[in-house]
Amino acid sequence: MAAHPKPLHVEPANYLQGGGVIGWLTTVDHKRIAVLYGVSALLFLGLGGLEAMAIRIQLWAPGEHFISARAYNELFTMHGTSMLFLAVMPLLLGTFANFMLPLQIGARDVAFPRINALSFWVSLMGAILLHLGWFFGGLPDAGWFGYANLTERMYSPGLPLDFWTLGLIVAGASTILATLNFLVTLITMRAPGMSYMRMPMFCWAIMITSILVLLAFPPLTVGLIFLLMDRFFGTHFYIVSAGATPILWQHLFWLFGHPEVYIIALPAFGVISEVVPTFSRKPLFGYPMMAYSICLIAFLSYGVWGHHMFATGMGPVADAAFAVTSMLIAIPTGIKIFSWIATVWGGSLRMTTSFYFALGMILEFTFGGLSGIMHASAPIDLQQTDSYFVVAHFHYVLFGGAVFAILAGIFYWWPKVTGKMLSERLGKLQFWLTIIGFNGTFFPMHFLGMWGMPRRIYTYGAGLGWTHLNQLETVCAMILGLAFLVMYINMVWSIANGEKAPPDPWDGRSLEWSVASPPPVYNFARIPEVRGRDAWWIVKYGRTGSRGLAAYMSGKPPQPSAADLAPPAEPIHMPAPSIFPLILSIGVLVASLGVIIGEWRIVILGAVTLVVAAIAMGFEYPTFGQESHDPMAAPSSGGTDVRKVGIWSFIGSECLFFASLIATYIIYKGRNIGGPGAEILEIPLTSFSTFALLMSSLAMVLALAAIQRNDRTWMRVWLGTTIGLGLVFLGVEAYEFTHFYHEGLSLQTDLFGQSFFTLVGFHGAHVSIGVLWLATLWFASFGEKFDGSRSLSVELAGLYWHFVDIVWVIIFTLVYLMQQVKGA
Amino acid sequence: MSRRAFSLGAMSILAAFLSGCASNRELPMTTLAPKSDLGQWIYHLFIEVTLWDALILAIVLIAFILAVFIFSTRVGEAAPPKSAASDLKLEIAWTVGPALVILMISVPTVRTVFRSQPRVAPADSLHIRVIAHQWWWEFQYPDSKVITANELHIPVNRPIRLDLVSSDVIHSFWVPQLGGKRDVVPGQINELTFEANVPGMYPGQCAEFCGDSHANMRFRVMVETPEQFAEWTKLQQAVPVAVDQITDASVADGAKVFADSPCTSCHRIDGVSKGYIAPDLTHFGSRTTMAGGIMANTPDNVAKWITDPQALKPGALMPPLGLRGQQLNDLVAYLESLK
């Protein structure tokens, strides 16, 4: 029918076009993945908001019966869990960082595009797991911080908490994957000239946030694994009658939980640090101090977790120490607030909705920070913690801080992402509704808290003086809901009828505004050369800001030229789509479901799917194991291969995983009651296997040396030796475990048994993965192409192997050699 | 006016404002009208920090208003600004300034932390063991051997030392007017030391989420004069009238209903039953509230409770007993007779 045959390959005009449904399911484009994250996060934002409104209706009057006690507990649990893990974090990291990082540093994608896709699909599976309770016996109802021992099967029978535990483990793993990607991207893929101190402040925030995630999520994972084992395998990590303490969970949780606050706040600070300079038409004030203060906040955030536990009876010394360290965070935070105000000062302001929200954030967040200083003072916290005062505080920080920043970011970057403008008129309406609704809902909560209303109560007594403020809050919460409804309407309207966005609608400063809206698949036709901070600004106005002023004064800021936006002459090699991330994540979901329903065949099915997809992903890429000279990547700014930086970052994260396990072992060894203890360990036998493992590291070094000089035969010999010694180690461990079992020490026997088997068992699992990895390489080495040019694959495996060996040296010392030393 | 006088003046104005909107009668759970030494220490610290916060907020607000509304132009109004990207003196100022404020706050904070958590209880203090259950409170007086539930009686102007233990999950003991909360953690004994200085009735509530009926885990503290407290203690130590000596027919029938019912396996009544996992009922009639302090102790409420505990307190462990009519009335009469 068609008169003209279609050309076979049409270069799509932008990243949103082409591919169909399959294209979206197999995409590895950071921009598409960001959109996927965004859609799912906006969905959960709406759901979390509806949950909050149901909560508010229930609190309308004393003894209200809108929902049952159980339903109320489910709703506040899911409100907190969804808002943090499925809405706010995915919007800031999954959407904003994913979309903007490569564009801001002049790269064509992230370091590991398929792992990026994997992290989205896995996070979606986590979200599904968390919500499956809708259909199977109820939602989780133990609060977002799920304090043990309420979460034990004894007090929370049934499936809901199983879904919660596994859902969070899966969601946490996906976050680690995502941020590992960001960190490596920022280290290795900055465009020429983009030094660290020239990066946009948002990139700084994401870089430090990524480090926070990598170091903070492992303690949470360990805490959740303990809970999982308690619920499924009969261990007693949080069971008091066995001598354990539920406070262990609180330490592990808040060791994650406080950095988590900054995992959310720092990207929000980053967004504000982009929006404020743009609409003030001034560079960010005090850039170096802004960068250093981010680092300082991140550093301090690891030393303050105890301020969530002042009421648990840690004793005056710990209380005083945590109080002072917590207060210190006010200093770098103050620097940020004053620097934003100084950026506005003397500016030429453009009062857009985005800027409104950014200015709103500065004030609301300051307010939340100030009530935070009160909780940092331990005695005051004893009156305020677990009261509505705290609910007020963290909503001022998380809503007034993070969500206001997200809204500023949505209005700021929407034109870049969709190519359409949002309605400013609806935006301003949304802003004022938000200001009224937000402050009307959360400001009175300070007073309810001071008047003694505890949080998480589904009903309250009459005659306590709480009713009027609760009713005011409920009304204002509805207004807040309306504000978000306006936003969703604005989004739909914009996509359908919105004005088309120019490449640079805001007179922006960073490189994302130098490309088309929406950007082409390859981001940059030519990798830009960066000449200073605010790279795109310098291109437009010159270093002194004098060029292009006439255009600016006429109200039309300079746009990228047609020549800049023209597609490149030669095709750009972009990473190929892959279905394996989706398959792998389905494997994760299936295995998790199998665990929950206790059907081991389903677990195995899921695990096999997962492993096969992972191996397929490993070999799918034609450059397997080669040093990177991939044309897709920007010239590497770090000089180190992305995969090497990646494995180092992963190892950093693993350190915290093992540190949490080792700390638990040391604490619980001393609390052991009854049952065998550390005296059961046999040092001579384990010394032998330790020696074997240490020798395997030597063999690993020799194998790498062999392949680097292109000697495949000796590489195979030494790799084989490494594998053999690893197997010897595993064999001795298997013998040891069986022997202990016959001596009466099992996972369930006592605190020593469970923490010993968990720690040594997880190490053994790491050794097994290492053996599998090396064996895969050994077989691959018979392939044609496996020569010196692919030595990187051996090097990466070697790094992992050495790390596992070093961990064993620490475990051997602490567990075996120091067995007589009494625990904490 | 000296700085100290100024801050004292400001503190008393703020205190007057806060307690003005927080009169004891209308807000029985307010933290702003403390009736114990612990509560007052915390309250003074709170006022002090609030003043520093107010100062910081004022500075930020003024700077913000000046920046947005005075010392800036709107786009297109004038030539774009000359950009000052940093100013060392300013940056030092807003680093050192907050650091000084933190120093001012942390000194009284640390002092109060140590003052409020004495390692050893004061010499003449009254020891009470608080046992938190899902979802009610048990109070044991080791000296007088008194056991009661949901209503803690203490004498005024005498140091109180609470040993807090939990029989199941984590709870938190909180009487806002008498000072800060302390978590009740299974497997460890937490302590709370305070001295109430105004007699009265102060409601309290569990403050750590502890399951379905967390909201229904309330209690009362009766701060009494030493004489009242001694009298109350005597009443609680009294052995109830033996069942065969009860004169009122309905009460006597009720006693039989109780003795023959499953009630006995969980509830203790001195001389009648030995259950211990549920509240001790030996002097049930002397309490003003029941069922974790969620309702007044009236015959009507007791009957409703016995008929369907879960309707009043979701998740409650007590099963409905299926008692009706006269049996129910007799049982209620018996329970209420246990003064």
Assembly ipTM: 0.93
The rounded percent of chain B whose pLDDT value lies above 90 is: 77
pLDDT single digits (tens) A637-687? 656 788 889 999 999 999 999 999 999 999 998 888 777 777 788 888 999
Answer yes or no: do A380 and B213 touch at CB < 8 A. Answer: no
Lowest mean pLDDT among B137-141, B162-166, B270-274: B270-274
Task: Output the six-digit token pair for A303.
Answer: 């030393």
Across chain B, mean pLDDT equals 90
Nearest to A379 among B42, B57, B81 (CB): B42
pLDDT at A633: 47
Q: Is residue A4 part of a domain?
A: no
Q: Is residue A462 part of a domain?
A: no
Q: With contacts defined as CB-CB under 8 Å, which chain B residues touch A285?
A: 84-87
Q: Is residue A261 part of a domain?
A: yes
Gap from A369 CA to chain B (nearest CA, Å) = 9
User: Is residue A219 a contact partner of residue A150, using CB atoms and an 8 Å limit?
Assistant: no
Q: Assign A622 a pLDDT band (cuts: 50, 70, 90).
A: low
- Whether residue B50 lies within 8 A of chain A, CB to CB, comes out as yes
Q: Is residue A294 part of a domain?
A: yes
pLDDT single digits (tens) A85-115? 999 999 999 999 999 999 999 998 999 999 9
Q: Assign A701 a pLDDT band (cuts: 50, 70, 90).
A: very high
Report, as an integer, the average pLDDT of A608-635.
Answer: 69
Mapped onto helix, strand or coil, the DSSP state of residue A432 is: helix
Burial A135-165 (b: 16+ CB within 10 A, else e): eeebbbbbbbbbbbbbbbeebbeebbbbbbb
Answer yes or no: do A285 and B30 touch at CB < 8 A. Answer: no
Same domain, A656 and A797: yes
Q: Is residue A25 part of a domain?
A: no
pLDDT at A799: 95
The residue range of the domain holding A551 is 511-565
Q: Assign B12 a pLDDT band (cuts: 50, 70, 90).
A: low
Same domain, A645 and A552: no
Answer yes or no: do B203 and A464 touch at CB < 8 A. Answer: yes
pLDDT at A7: 39
Gap from B241 CA to chain A (nearest CA, Å) = 35
pLDDT at B169: 96
Answer yes or no: do A349 and B98 touch at CB < 8 A. Answer: no
Q: Is residue A482 part of a domain?
A: no
User: Which residue of chain B comes nearest to A69, CA vs CA?
Assistant: B212
Answer yes or no: do B116 and A379 touch at CB < 8 A. Answer: yes
Q: Is residue A227 part of a domain?
A: yes
Q: With contacts defined as CB-CB under 8 Å, which chain A residues touch B89?
A: none
Q: How far apart are CA A553 and CA A712, in angstroms?
A: 67
Ranges of each domain in chain B? 23-61+92-224, 243-337
Same domain, A195 and A293: yes
Task: Determine the CATH number of domain B243-337.
Answer: 2.60.40.420
| Residue A472 CB neighbour total at 10 angstroms | 14
Report, as an integer, the average pLDDT of A4-29.
Answer: 75
pLDDT at B268: 93
The larger pLDDT score, comparing residue B339 to residue A25, is at A25
pTM, full prediction: 0.93
- Is pLDDT of A620 > 80? no
pLDDT at A789: 78
pLDDT at A749: 86
Q: How far apart are CA A720 and CA A696, in angstroms?
A: 10
Write down the residue that tokens 């009335």 correspond to: B329
C-alpha distance from residue B237 to each of A197, B152, B189, B259 (Å) = 76, 15, 26, 21
Lowest mean pLDDT among A4-13, A336-345, A390-399, B172-181: A4-13
User: Which residue of chain B comes nearest to A371, CA vs CA?
Assistant: B53
Same domain, A117 and A244: yes
The larger pLDDT score, comparing residue B17 to residue B245, is at B245
B interface test, pick of A155, A326, A338 with most B CB neighbours within 10 Å: A338
Gap from A285 CA to chain B (nearest CA, Å) = 5
Same domain, A644 and A772: yes
Q: How many CA atoms lie within 13 A of A94 on its CB side?
A: 31
Interface of B with A in 208-267 (CB under 8 A): 208-216, 218
Same domain, A549 and A648: no
pLDDT at B23: 54
Answer yes or no: do B170 and A147 touch at CB < 8 A. Answer: yes
- Is pLDDT of A489 > 50? yes
Last residue of a domain, one of A338, A364, A386: A386
Answer yes or no: do B109 and A240 touch at CB < 8 A. Answer: no
Q: Assign A626 a pLDDT band (cuts: 50, 70, 90).
A: low
pLDDT single digits (tens) B115-141? 999 989 898 999 999 999 999 999 999
Answer yes or no: do A245 and B188 touch at CB < 8 A. Answer: yes
Gap from A345 CA to chain B (nearest CA, Å) = 4
Gap from B215 CA to chain A (nearest CA, Å) = 4
Q: How far apart are CA A482 and CA A407, in angstroms?
A: 15
Question: What residues contact residue A544 under an 8 Å CB cut-off, 6+ apart?
Answer: none
Q: With contacts defined as CB-CB under 8 Å, which chain A residues touch B32?
A: 450-451
Nearest to A456 among B73, B168, B214 (CB): B214
Q: Is residue A795 part of a domain?
A: yes
Nearest to A323 among B28, B106, B168 (CB): B106
Last residue of a domain, one of A367, A386, A405: A386
Q: With contacts defined as CB-CB under 8 Å, which chain A residues touch B309?
A: none
Peptide bond into A718 cis (omega under 30): no
B interface test, pick of A304, A367, A457 with most B CB neighbours within 10 Å: A457
Report, as an integer, the average pLDDT of B158-180.
Answer: 96
- Is pLDDT of B306 > 90? yes
Answer yes or no: do B26 and A370 touch at CB < 8 A. Answer: no
The rounded percent of chain A whose pLDDT value lies above 90 is: 76
Task: Output the six-digit token pair for A309.
Answer: 């536990």
A386: left (phi over 0), alpha (psi -120 to 50) or beta: left
| Residue B247 CB neighbour total at 10 angstroms | 7
- Whether residue B92 lies within 8 A of chain A, CB to CB, comes out as no
- Whether residue B85 lies within 8 A of chain A, CB to CB, comes out as yes
Answer yes or no: do A311 and B46 touch at CB < 8 A. Answer: no
Q: How far apart are CA A40 and CA A98, in angstroms?
A: 14
Q: Assign A795 a pLDDT band (cuts: 50, 70, 90).
A: very high
Say which CATH number the domain at A737 has. 1.20.120.80
Answer yes or no: do A283 and B85 touch at CB < 8 A. Answer: yes
Nearest to A383 among B71, B84, B180 (CB): B180
Q: With contacts defined as CB-CB under 8 Å, which chain B residues touch A384?
A: 31
Same domain, A556 and A660: no
- Is pLDDT of B20 > 80? no
Number of domains in chain A: 3
Task: Output the six-digit token pair for B146.
Answer: 């008194």
- Whether residue B109 lies within 8 A of chain A, CB to CB, comes out as yes
Write down the residue that tokens 């007791």 correspond to: B302
Report, as an integer, the average pLDDT of A690-710.
Answer: 94
User: Which residue of chain A comes nearest to B110, CA vs CA?
Assistant: A320
Across chain A, mean pLDDT equals 91
Q: Assign B64 a pLDDT band (cuts: 50, 70, 90).
A: very high
Comparing CA positions, the residue from A389, A413, A396 lying closest to residue A360 is A396
pLDDT at A623: 59
pLDDT single digits (tens) A113-134? 999 999 999 999 999 999 998 8
Report, as an integer, the average pLDDT of A27-37.
Answer: 96
pLDDT at B321: 85
- Whether residue B80 lies within 8 A of chain A, CB to CB, comes out as yes
Mapped onto helix, strand or coil, the DSSP state of residue A291 is: helix
Last residue of a domain, one of A386, A406, A434: A386
Gap from A393 CA to chain B (nearest CA, Å) = 14
pLDDT single digits (tens) A290-339? 999 999 999 999 999 999 999 999 999 999 999 999 999 999 999 999 99
Same domain, A550 and A642: no
pLDDT at B18: 57
pLDDT single digits (tens) A708-723? 898 889 999 999 999 9
Answer yes or no: do B64 and A452 touch at CB < 8 A. Answer: no
Question: What residues contact residue A171 under an 8 Å CB cut-off, 6+ apart?
Answer: A85, A86, A122, A123, A126, A127, A130
pLDDT single digits (tens) A533-588? 999 999 988 877 777 777 777 777 888 888 888 887 777 778 888 999 999 999 99
User: Is residue B126 a contact partner of residue B161, using CB atoms and an 8 Å limit?
Assistant: yes
Answer yes or no: do B113 and A370 touch at CB < 8 A. Answer: no
Same domain, A520 and A380: no
Gap from A213 CA to chain B (nearest CA, Å) = 27
Answer yes or no: do A450 and B31 touch at CB < 8 A. Answer: yes
pLDDT at B54: 95
CATH of B23-61+92-224 among 2.70.98.50, 3.30.470.10, 2.60.40.420, 2.60.40.60: 2.60.40.420
